[in-house]
């Protein structure tokens, strides 16, 4: 389970790094401004949709760091976030899920013909998760 207080600290760290106000951060990830306010105040917990919007909008943010605080942010670079991107493990993992391998995986597992995998979510016993989209 995600610790809401620690998640809020990491959320603030992201906003500070990109020099974004709560309102501009909400606009950037396409959520209501009240959603950010409720999260920052501890009233609400982050949803999976909210977390994935952050991951998609900010490639330097690693899912595991955002959820558990393990790893680093903004990764291992020291330059301007717009000019230099942190190494992105997710990009390497997503290459495993290109359409050709998905088709062969489906065939090997006897999936019904014509079915295409859109999203895979891995749930771990400690409450953490990883999501991969095609």
Tokens 């290109």 locate to: 98
pLDDT tens readout for residues 5-37:
888 899 999 999 999 999 999 999 999 989 888
Nearest to 39 by CA among 73, 66, 70, 18: 66
- What is the DSSP annotation of 55-112? HHH-TTS-HHHHHH--S-SS-S--S-TTT-PPP-HHHHHHHTTSHHHHHHHHHHTTPP
- Sketch out the chain's domains with CATH numbers: 1-72 (1.10.260.40), 87-134 (no CATH)
Q: What is the pLDDT of residues 106-134, one digit of tens each?
A: 445 555 667 777 788 888 888 788 888 77
pLDDT digits (tens, 9 = 90+) for 74-118: 765 434 444 444 444 444 444 444 454 444 444 455 556 677 777
Distance between terminal CA atoms of the chain?
A: 26
């Amino acid at each position: 389970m995600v610790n809401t207080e620690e998640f809020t600290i990491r959320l603030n760290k992201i906003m500070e790094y990109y020099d974004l106000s709560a309102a501009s951060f909400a606009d950037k990830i396409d959520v209501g401004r009240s959603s950010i306010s409720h999260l920052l105040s501890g009233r609400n917990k982050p949803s999976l949709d909210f977390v994935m919007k952050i991951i998609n909008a900010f490639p330097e943010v690693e899912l595991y760091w955002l959820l558990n605080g393990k790893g680093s942010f903004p990764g291992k670079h020291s330059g301007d976030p717009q000019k230099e991107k942190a190494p992105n493990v997710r990009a390497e993992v997503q290459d495993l899920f290109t359409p050709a391998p998905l088709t062969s995986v489906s065939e090997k597992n006897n999936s019904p013909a014509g079915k295409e995998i859109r999203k895979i979510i891995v749930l771990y016993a400690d409450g953490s998760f990883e999501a991969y989209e095609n």
